[in-house]
C-alpha cells in the first residue's frame, strides 16, 4: 500500500494510522495502531508481513456468532487476543454483512433490502454512538490503546470498515487529528477494496440470479452519509465530540493524556 511500505493481500483495506497529524502538531506513531478487516482470509504471503508488524494485541469487535461462521483469524506469534463485541442482535445489518462476505443466500434479507440497506447502515452508525455494547466496547478499546503492553494494536471487525471505522474516528479524534483527515482515512476503504467488492458481487450474482446489487453495495462500501449520521448523533446526544468521549464513553482526561503520550510522537 502506498505510503506505508506493506500490504496484506487478503486484507486490502488494512492500514497503519501512523503519520497522521494530531494534537500540537505531533504525528501518530507509525506501527502502533493498525486497522484491518477480519484476518481469516490472509494469504500465506501475508503472514511474514503480519509477523513484521508484530502486534502485541489483536482486538476483535465481532460477536461470537459472527466469529463462529467465519474463517478463523490467521495470526503469527502469540499476540493477546481481546474480544469486545460491538453487536446489536436485533439489527439484521450485522448478520446481512456476514452473509454477504461469506457468499450466503440473501433471500432471508428481502425485507431489509426493500426497506433500504443504505438507511439501515446509517441507523447502525447512529447506534454506534448510543448502543450499550457499542459504548462499552469502544470505551474499553480506547483504554486498551493506552497500555504499552497492547502496542502495536491491530483491531478489526468483519469487513474492517464500519465498527473498525468508527473506532478509528474515536481514536484519531482523541489524539487530536483533524476531522478532514479522519474523514479521508474513513473514505479510503472504497478505493482499497474496489477489486474485492467486484469479486464478491460477481460471486453473489452467480449464486443468486436476479440479485439486487443496489441492495448489496451499501453494506460493502463506506459512505459519507454513514459517517455523517454518527457525527450528527454525537451532536444530538452530547453536543460535541469531546462531550461524547467524556460522557458517552467515560474517557477521562487522564486516559486522553495517556493515549496521547503512548501514540503521538
**Block mean pLDDT (10 aa), the chain, length 265:** 80 98 98 98 98 98 94 97 95 86 83 87 97 98 98 97 98 98 98 94 86 89 98 98 98 98 98
Return the pLDDT at 3. 57
Q: What angle do CA 130, 161, 262 make, to 5 degrees?
A: 80
Q: Could you say which DSSP state residue 248 is in?
A: I
Assessment of whether the complete model's pTM goes beyond 0.85: yes
- pLDDT value, residue 110: 81
Closest by Cα among 143, 124, 3 to 82? 143
Burial annotation 90-120 (CB, 10 A radius, 16+ → b, else e): eebbbbbbbbbbeebebeebeebbeeebbeb
Active-site residue, selected from the candidate residues 42, 139, 142, 157: 157
pLDDT tens digits along 192-233: 999 999 999 998 888 888 888 888 999 999 999 999 999 999
CATH code for 15-259? 3.90.190.10
CA dihedral sign of residues 82, 86, 92, 94:
negative
The verdict on whether 157 is a catalytic residue reads yes
- Distance CA(35)–CA(59), nearest Å, equals 10
CB atoms within 10 A of CB 37: 24
User: How far apart are alpha carbons 95 and 79 in whole angstroms?
Assistant: 27
Q: Could you give the angle at which helices 179-192 and 224-238 cross, rounded to 10 degrees? A: 150
Position 88 scores a pLDDT of 92
Beta strands in the chain (DSSP E): 15-16, 33-36, 57-60, 80-83, 153-156
Calculate the dihedral angle through the C-alpha atoms of 158, 129, 64, 188, rounding to the nearest 10 degrees. Answer: 10
Read off the pLDDT of residues 128-141 as tens digits, 9 standing for 90 and up.
999 999 999 999 99
pLDDT of residue 2: 42
Amino acid at each position: 500500500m502506498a505510503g506505508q511500505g506493506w500490504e496484506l493481500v487478503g486484507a486490502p483495506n488494512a492500514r497503519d494510522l501512523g503519520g497522521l497529524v494530531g494534537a500540537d502538531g505531533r504525528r501518530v506513531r507509525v506501527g502502533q495502531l493498525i486497522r484491518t478487516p477480519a484476518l481469516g482470509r490472509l494469504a500465506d504471503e501475508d503472514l511474514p508481513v503480519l509477523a513484521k508488524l508484530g502486534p502485541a494485541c489483536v482486538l476483535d469487535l465481532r460477536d461470537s456468532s459472527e466469529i463462529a461462521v467465519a474463517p478463523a483469524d490467521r495470526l503469527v506469534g502469540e499476540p493477546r487476543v481481546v474480544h469486545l463485541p460491538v453487536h446489536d442482535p436485533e439489527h439484521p445489518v450485522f448478520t446481512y454483512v456476514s452473509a454477504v462476505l461469506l457468499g450466503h443466500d440473501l433471500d432471508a434479507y428481502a425485507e431489509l433490502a426493500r426497506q433500504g440497506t443504505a438507511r439501515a447502515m446509517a441507523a447502525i452508525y447512529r447506534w454506534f454512538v448510543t448502543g450499550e455494547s457499542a459504548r462499552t466496547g469502544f470505551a474499553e478499546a480506547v483504554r486498551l490503546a493506552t497500555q504499552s503492553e497492547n502496542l502495536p494494536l491491530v483491531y478489526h471487525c468483519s469487513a474492517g470498515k464500519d465498527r473498525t471505522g468508527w473506532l478509528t474516528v474515536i481514536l484519531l479524534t482523541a489524539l487530536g487529528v483533524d476531522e478532514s483527515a479522519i474523514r479521508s482515512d474513513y473514505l479510503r476503504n472504497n478505493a482499497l477494496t474496489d477489486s474485492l467488492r467486484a469479486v464478491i458481487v460477481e460471486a453473489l450474482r452467480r449464486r443468486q440470479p436476479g440479485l439486487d446489487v443496489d441492495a448489496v453495495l451499501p453494506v460493502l462500501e463506506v459512505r459519507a452519509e454513514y459517517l455523517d449520521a454518527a457525527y450528527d448523533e454525537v451532536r444530538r446526544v452530547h453536543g460535541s465530540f469531546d462531550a461524547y468521549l467524556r460522557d458517552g464513553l467515560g474517557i477521562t482526561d487522564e486516559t486522553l493524556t495517556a493515549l496521547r503520550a503512548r501514540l503521538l510522537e
